[in-house]
Amino acid sequence: MTTAAPSVTVRVPAKVNVQLAVGGVRPDGFHPLANVFLAVGLYDEVTAAPAPELRITCTGPGADQVPLDRTNLAARAAIALAELHGLAPDVHLHIAKDIPVAGGMAGGSADAAGALLACDALWGTATTTDQLLAICAELGSDVPFSLVGGAALGVGRGEQLTPLAVGGEFHWVFAVADGGLSTPAVYGEFDRLTAGLEVPEPEASETLIAALRTGDATALAAALTNDLQAAALSLRPSLAAALAAGTDAGALAALVSGSGPTTAYLVKDAEAAQRVADALLASGTCAAARPAVAPAPGATVL
Ligand code: C5P
């Protein structure tokens, strides 16, 4: 009998920003945010297995756009964790993608959080949550949230998290666009569109946080905002037709997810989700339409 090599698989959710309030650009190039993250039930899986040297493989939709070298956020996560413990990052990371690539749903951040947790379990390094969160924050503004999941308010550049209560399930549809959008390009377009204007300090909406707490989809729909939406639409005007197709089909509200180009539709229930997903696909305004339920748990070892 042969013993299979040990490996650890971690499942990590996508996110949608139910509020993304963006302030004027800081001297370090980042923007101050009041960012209300909600984890949604679309997942990537990251598997870590022993290997003679660091290796990344990736399968799933959009996998051909994922870098397989040390610039991959999952590779950088493994290197950072190995460094913390004085180890060599000799690991094979396999990423099974289901989160849209460069879609504004934190897919790359999810893979980084998944790689951290998978390597920590594989190497038996028992890293504390605070240490993991510190590495996450260095890797990217959205990575800490991918680790914790649920719902949270992120301030600073989005990495300083306060968990938020969610009082029920929210049903969503996500329309996947053809091709991605670069997050820095969307922030750059935001700067261009707001040049010369007074950009207010970003502030979390108490109304929106209350809607999450009470599980009230209609109230949440009325409170959804994304300050990057105008910039994403400016770079990708065709997204307007997708947003209109979703609201025409009965979505409670439609918005761009994060920096886009994925668009997000909040709906009443699972039945409405299927109806809106079918209508979005039939409209020809998107490449795929995916129902998903929120909140979803953070990175989890399977
Ligand atoms: O933190 P992360 O690496 O995900 O950010 C990617 C890019 O998005 C940054 O280089 C920056 O251009 C932009 N960004 C920003 N303000 C934030 C978060 C991200 O300008 N709060």
Residue ranges and CATH numbers for the domains of the chain are 8-164 (3.30.230.10), 170-294 (3.30.70.890)
Choice among 64, 142, 178, 227 that is catalytic: 142
Which residue has the CA at smallest separation from atom 14 of ligand 1?
A: 30
Cα 289 to ligand 1 centroid, rounded to whole Å: 27
What percentage of the chain carries pLDDT values higher than 90? 98
Confidence of residue 131 (pLDDT cuts 50, 70, 90): very high
Q: Tell me, using a 6 A CB cutoff, whether residue 33 lines ligand 1.
A: yes
What percentage of the chain carries pLDDT values higher than 70? 98
Confidence of residue 136 (pLDDT cuts 50, 70, 90): very high
Which residue has the CA at smallest separation from atom 19 of ligand 1?
A: 30
| Mean pLDDT calculated for residue range 76-81 | 98
Half-sphere exposure (Cβ direction) of 251: Cα atoms closer than 13 Å: 31
Q: How far apart, in whole angstroms, are the C-alpha atoms of residue 279 and residue 175? A: 11
CB-CB contact of 39 with 145 (8 Å): yes
| pLDDT higher than 60, residue 73 | yes
In the prediction, which pLDDT does 243 show?
Answer: 98
Q: How far apart, in whole angstroms, are the C-alpha atoms of residue 45 and residue 48? A: 10
Known catalytic residue: 15? yes
* Ligand 1 nearest atom to the CA of residue 141, by list position: 1
DSSP symbols for the chain: -PPPPP-EEEEEEEEEEEEEEE-PPPTTS---EEEEEEEEEEEEEEEEEE-SS-EEEEESTTGGGS--STTSHHHHHHHHHHHHTT----EEEEEE--SPTTSSS-HHHHHHHHHHHHHHHHHT----HHHHHHHHHHH-TTHHHHHHBSEEEEETTTTEEEE----S-EEEEEEEPSS---HHHHHHHHHHHHTTS-PPPP---HHHHHHHHHT-HHHHHHH-EETTHHHHHHH-TTHHHHHHHHHHTT-SEEEE-TTSSSEEEEESSHHHHHHHHHHHHHHTS-SEEEEEEE--B-SEE-
Known catalytic residue: 268? no
In the prediction, which pLDDT does 1 show?
Answer: 53
**Which residues on adjacent β-strands are paired with residue 47?**
9, 94
Cα 187 to ligand 1 centroid, rounded to whole Å: 8
Q: Tell me, using a 6 A CB cutoff, whether residue 76 lines ligand 1.
A: no
246-274 tens-digit pLDDT: 999 999 999 999 999 999 999 999 999 99
| pLDDT higher than 90, residue 5 | no
Q: Tell me, using a 6 A CB cutoff, whether residue 158 lines ligand 1.
A: yes
| pLDDT higher than 90, residue 125 | yes
In the prediction, which pLDDT does 170 show?
Answer: 98
| Mean pLDDT calculated for residue range 30-47 | 98
